[in-house]
Amino acid sequence: MNVYLITIGEEILIGQTINTNAAFLGEKLSENNFDVIKSVTVADEESDILDEFKHAFNKADITIITGGLGPTHDDITKKCIQKFFRSKLIPNNEVLSDINSFLEKRGRKISKALEDQALVPHNAQVIRNYFGTAPGLLLEKDNKLFVSMPGVPQEMKSMFLNSVLPILNERRIGDTNFVQRLTLQTTGIPESMLSERLGNLTELLEGAKLAFLPNPFGVKLRITVSEHNEEIARNKLQEIEQRIRTKVGRFIFGKYDETLEEIVGRLLTERGLTISVAESCTGGMISNMLTNVNGSSAYFQRGVVAYSNAYKVEILSVNEDTLAQFGSVSLEVARQMAEGVRSTSGSDLGLSSTGIMGPRGATPEKPVGLVYIGFCDDKLCTARKFIFGNDRLTNKQRTAQAAIETIRRYLLGISIDD
Amino acid sequence: MNVYLITIGEEILIGQTINTNAAFLGEKLSENNFDVIKSVTVADEESDILDEFKHAFNKADITIITGGLGPTHDDITKKCIQKFFRSKLIPNNEVLSDINSFLEKRGRKISKALEDQALVPHNAQVIRNYFGTAPGLLLEKDNKLFVSMPGVPQEMKSMFLNSVLPILNERRIGDTNFVQRLTLQTTGIPESMLSERLGNLTELLEGAKLAFLPNPFGVKLRITVSEHNEEIARNKLQEIEQRIRTKVGRFIFGKYDETLEEIVGRLLTERGLTISVAESCTGGMISNMLTNVNGSSAYFQRGVVAYSNAYKVEILSVNEDTLAQFGSVSLEVARQMAEGVRSTSGSDLGLSSTGIMGPRGATPEKPVGLVYIGFCDDKLCTARKFIFGNDRLTNKQRTAQAAIETIRRYLLGISIDD
* pLDDT single digits (tens) A104-141: 877 778 888 788 899 999 999 999 998 888 999 999 99
pLDDT band at B175 (very low <50, low <70, confident <90, very high): low
Given B255, B274, B299, which residue is the final one in a domain? B255
pLDDT at residue B176, rounded to an integer:
65
Indicate whether B274 and B387 sit together in one domain: yes
Mean pLDDT calculated for residue range B373-396: 93
Q: What is the average pLDDT across B70-95?
A: 92
Q: What pLDDT shows up at residue A130?
A: 83
- Which of B14, B38, B291 minimises the CB distance to A42? B38
pLDDT of residue B200: 87
Between the CA of residue B47 and those of B50, B81, B84, what are the distances in Å? 5, 12, 11
Of A17, A40, A389, the CB nearest to B40: A40
Of A44, A32, A68, A56, give the one whose Cα is nearest residue A164: A32
Binary contact (A22, B40; C-beta < 8 A) = no
User: Exposed, middle or buried by CB within 10 Å (0-12, 13-18, 19+), for A345?
Assistant: buried
B145 lies in some domain: yes
Indicate whether B116 and B41 sit together in one domain. Answer: yes
Residue of B nearest to A396 (CA): B292
Question: What pTM did the predictor assign?
Answer: 0.80
CB-closest option in A23, A43, A297 to B307 = A297
Give the per-residue pLDDT at B192.
Answer: 73
At B174, the pLDDT band (50, 70, 90 cuts) reads low
Average pLDDT over residues B4-25: 94
Q: Which residues from A are below 8 Å from B15, CB to CB?
A: 22-28, 30
- Would B417 be classed as within a structural domain? no
CA distance B41 to B30: 19
Q: Do residue A27 and residue A165 come from a single domain?
A: yes
List the one residue out of A32, A139, A126 whose CA is nearest residue A83.
Answer: A139
pLDDT in tens, B121-133: 999 999 999 888 9
> Does any domain span residue B418?
no
- Whether B291 sits inside 8 A of A283 (CB atoms) is yes
A418, pLDDT greater than 70: no
Give domain status of residue A418, yes or no: no
The stretch A245-259 carries a mean pLDDT of 94
Looking at the structure, tell me whether residues A191 and A154 fall in a common domain.
Answer: no
Q: Is the Cβ pair B13, A196 closer than 8 Å?
A: no
**Residue pairs spanning A and B at CB distance below 8 A:** 267
Question: Residue B113: which CATH number?
Answer: 3.40.980.10
Report the residue of A4, A183, A202, A287 to disrupt the B interface, i.e. the one with the largest count of B CBs within 10 Å: A287
- Whole-number pLDDT of residue B40: 98
Interval B277-291 mean pLDDT: 98
Residue A380 lies in a domain: yes
- Pair A50, A160 in one domain: yes
pLDDT score, position A54:
95
pLDDT at B250 (0 to 100): 95
Distances (CA, A) of A120 to A87, A91, B62, B358: 9, 6, 38, 45
pLDDT tens profile B223-276 = 989 888 889 999 999 999 999 999 999 999 999 879 999 999 999 999 999 999
One domain for residues A36 and A114:
yes
Q: Which domain holds residue A408?
A: 261-412
Q: For residue B161, list chain A residues with Cβ-Cβ distance below 8 A.
A: none
Residues B301 and B392 in one domain: yes
Residue B391: the pLDDT is 84
Residue burial A206-231, b: 16+ Cβ < 10 Å; e: rest:
eebbbbbbbbbbbbbbbbbbbbeeee
Encode pLDDT of B180-201 as tens digits: 888 899 999 887 788 889 988 8
Q: Which of A169-173, A209-213, A237-241, B207-211 has the highest mean pLDDT?
A: A237-241
Using a CB-CB cut-off of 8 Å, the residues of chain A touching B261 are none
| Confidence class for position B79, pLDDT limits 50, 70, 90 | very high
Q: What is the pLDDT of residue A369?
A: 95
Does B220 or A340 have the greater pLDDT score?
A340
Summarize the confidence of residues B162-173 as an average pLDDT: 89
Instruction: Provide the pLDDT confidence category of residue A215 given band limits of 50, 70 and 90.
Output: confident
- A405 lies in the same domain as A297: yes
- Is the CB of A26 less than 8 angstroms away from the CB of B12? yes
User: Which ipTM was obtained for this model?
Assistant: 0.81
Of B113, B139, B172, the residue at which a domain comes to its end is: B172
Q: Is the pLDDT of residue A74 over 90?
A: no
- Are residue B20 and residue B66 in the same domain, yes or no? yes
Mean predicted lDDT score pLDDT of chain A: 93
A13 and A117: one domain? Answer: yes
Residue A300 has pLDDT above 90, yes or no: yes
Residue A413 is predicted with a pLDDT of 94
* Contact: A288, B291; criterion CB under 8 Å: no
B397 pLDDT band (50/70/90 cuts)? very high
Task: Report the gap between the CA of B384 and the closest CA in chain A (Å).
Answer: 22
- Residue B418 is predicted with a pLDDT of 60
Let me know if residue A359 belongs to a domain.
yes
How many CB atoms neighbour CB B162 within 10 A?
A: 12
Examine the fold and report which residue of A231, A255, A279 is the final residue of a domain before the chain moves on.
A255
Q: Choose the closest CB to B11 out of A222, A279, A360.
A: A222
pLDDT at residue number B36: 95
Residues A209 and A69 in one domain: no
Rounded to an integer, the average pLDDT of A363-379 is: 96
- Which chain A residues contact residue B70 at CB under 8 A? 191, 212, 214
Mean pLDDT, chain B, whole residue set: 92
Q: Which residues contact A364 (CB under 8 A, 6 or more apart)?
A: none
Pairing assessment for the beta strands A381-387 and A370-376 based on DSSP bridges: antiparallel
CATH number, domain of A200, equals 3.30.70.2860
Per-residue pLDDT tens digits for A145-199 = 999 999 988 889 999 999 999 999 888 766 667 888 899 999 999 988 999 999 9
Q: Predicted confidence band at A10 (pLDDT cuts at 50, 70, 90)?
A: confident
Taking the CA of residue A206 and the nearest CA in chain B, the distance in Å comes to 15
pLDDT the model gives residue B305: 97
Same domain, yes or no: A161 and A208: no
Is residue B268 in a domain? yes
Res B179 pLDDT > 90: no
Total number of domains constituting chain A: 3
Q: Is the pLDDT of residue B349 over 70?
A: yes
pLDDT at A73: 67
Residue A276's closest chain B neighbor by CA? B305
Q: Under an 8 A CB cutoff, do A392 and B287 touch?
A: no
